[in-house]
Amino acid sequence: MQNKLLRELTGFKQALMTTEEAKDALRDALEGKAALLVVDYAWTIDRADVFSVTEPPDRLLITT
């Protein structure tokens, strides 16, 4: 899902292999933008943590 979001934000087609690589790439893609990132249907913190890439003024909303 990280790679899919990255593809939507940037058009980047190469799949990143690690969670940390994808988190760094997503953080870079959101830099300088105001965004609300909604993670829906996250039943564990591990599932939601892979999208913990926001910095102010961005926001992250996690739902179950």
Q: What is the pTM of this model?
A: 0.85
Strands 36-39 and 59-62: parallel
Structure confidence at residue 44 (pLDDT): 92
Structure confidence at residue 9 (pLDDT): 92
CA–CA dist 20, 13 (Å, integer):
17
Span 3-61, pLDDT tens digits? 999 999 999 888 888 999 999 999 999 999 999 999 999 999 988 999 999 999 999 99
CA–CA dist 1, 52 (Å, integer):
13
